[in-house]
């Protein structure tokens, strides 16, 4: 494990797109809002979420990350070494940690990734950092970034990813 870039293949991105669309459709069918905190579409929110989840699974050496998709929205994406982990991913630099106003984190750990498409169809996914639910609760602010109130934690307040692994092992 490292804080280096995680690369997703074109095939993995196709799976993320397919799974993100499926997740968005299930959410709409069950009356769940897309919980987006930017002007991107709800489908993009679910796609980028899936990209981040797959990147975290690769980073943490979690096998068969595809199975995560069929879990109901529990407020976390993985149980990793006894801790619940909620993965966030954004295409918006600087990749601050944003959560929809009114939604409090349930997971023990929140991880932030940034994703960018590369020329050859691969995607580069960069681990931005992580925080605990307790740190987020004590340190977030509320901002309006042009699309309503949002819980905000600046990227520079996130702990480096290498420390997440070091804390575990």
* Domain boundaries of the chain, sorted by first residue: 6-168
- With beta carbons less than 8 A apart as the criterion, state whether 85 and 112 touch: no
Q: Is 78 left (phi over 0), alpha (psi -120 to 50) or beta?
A: beta
Helix (H, G, I), strand (E, B) or coil at 146: coil
Q: 99: closest CA among 91, 88, 109, 108?
A: 88
| pTM of the complete model | 0.85
pLDDT digits (tens, 9 = 90+) for 23-42: 888 877 877 665 555 666 77
d(CA 28, CA 16): 18
Phi and psi torsions of 12, nearest 5°:
-65, -35
Give every residue of the chain whose pLDDT is below 50, as ranges. 1-2, 69-70, 169
pLDDT digits (tens, 9 = 90+) for 101-113: 887 788 999 999 9
Chain centroid, CA 16 distance in Å: 13
DSSP 8-class letter at 82 = T
């Amino acid at each position: 494990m490292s804080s280096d870039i995680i690369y997703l293949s074109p095939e993995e991105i196709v799976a993320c797109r397919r799974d993100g669309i499926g997740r968005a459709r299930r959410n709409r069918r069950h009356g769940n809002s897309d919980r987006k905190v930017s002007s991107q579409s709800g489908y993009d929110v679910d796609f980028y979420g899936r990209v981040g989840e797959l990147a975290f699974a690769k980073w943490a050496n979690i096998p068969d990350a595809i199975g995560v998709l069929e879990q109901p929205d529990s407020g976390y994406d993985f149980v990793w070494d006894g801790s619940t982990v909620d993965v966030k991913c954004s295409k918006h630099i600087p990749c601050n940690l944003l959560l929809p106003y009114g939604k409090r984190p349930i997971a023990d750990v929140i991880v932030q990734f940034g994703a960018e498409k590369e020329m050859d169809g691969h995607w580069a996914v960069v681990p931005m950092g992580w925080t605990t639910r307790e740190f987020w609760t004590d340190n977030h602010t509320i901002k309006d970034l042009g699309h309503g109130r949002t819980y905000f934690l600046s990227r520079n307040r996130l702990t480096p990813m290498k420390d997440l692994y070091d804390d575990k092992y």
